[in-house]
Amino acid sequence: TPPAAPPPPEERRIEATMTVSASEALRKMDFEAMSAAELANARAEIRRLSLPLDHRPTRRFRPHPSGARADLRATLRASLRQGGEITTLRRSQRVVRPPPLVVLCDISGSMGRYAQILLHFIHAVTNDRDRVAAFLFGTRLTNITRQLRHRDAEVAFELVGHAVQDWSGGTRIGAALELFNRQWSRRVLGQGAVVLLITDGLERGDAADLARLAAATERLRNSCRRLIWLNPLLRYAGFQPRPQGVRTMLPLVHEHRPVHNIDSLRALVASLSAPAPRGVAGGMA
């Protein structure tokens, strides 16, 4: 059977327009409202997102023939190898590298669909760059960095499923952040770190729990260069920070951004690719 003839130019233009229109509609659609087919398309688009965080200077130097810094130690070592004669002034330059990125994602029942699809974003980021650490939390905190390093997403998510015991249950945001600060902060943050905190902020508990949440959030903010709260509740145009957990956390983060569709993730990528906003501290990585 001969191959079908290509459609005429006008039909191809209409088809292309419809494809672009469908893609734009998908990017604006709430993850929670997507069908199974739409979610599959959304996951594919999310995996194509790259996160080029700005490279920052570190405290380390490395040899470089045209470096801005004279390296006297290297010069003296070279001269000793040549009988004490200094023939060339050795130079070095500062090492630059992307800052550490830490992702803390809420997997409690209220986060549901968002946590599932955002895991694809976290997996892509973890495999796209070094110095990434990923954690999930509901009623406990689980480090899933090693599991997500597997490049095959299906295998990675199966490994995560075996490691995490508190999917779609309750949430203890304050306790999870407190545990992260105590056990992991010094290991994974480093200077210049960016932290993505993905949660709706619906903390349950009494005044003591809210005080714990405030203290843990403030300590986390003070330990990183940029604490960005990604909140799917911001999908509502008239969102008001009425829940107590939201009111507690809101003054303590550097940024509060939506994370309910592809467009919100694209905006996050653009923001992270740009210099930090005014009021956000810098520092050596």
- Check residue 20 and give its pLDDT: 65
Q: In this predicted structure, what is the pLDDT of residue 14?
A: 40
Q: Enumerate the domain spans of the chain.
A: 40-54+98-273, 58-96
Per-residue confidence (pLDDT) for residue 96, from 0 to 100: 58
How far apart CA 245 and CA 170 sit, in angstroms, is 14
Q: Is the pTM of this model over 0.85?
A: no
- Give the alpha-carbon dihedral of 122, 123, 127, 128, to 10 degrees: -50
CATH topology of domain 40-54+98-273: Rossmann fold (3.40.50)
What is d(CA 81, CA 89) in angstroms, rounded to the nearest whole number?
Answer: 14
Taking the chain (285 residues) in runs of 10, the rounded mean pLDDT of each run is 43 49 88 92 87 60 64 66 66 67 94 92 89 94 96 93 86 95 93 92 89 97 96 90 92 96 93 63 36
Which pLDDT score is estimated for 282?
38
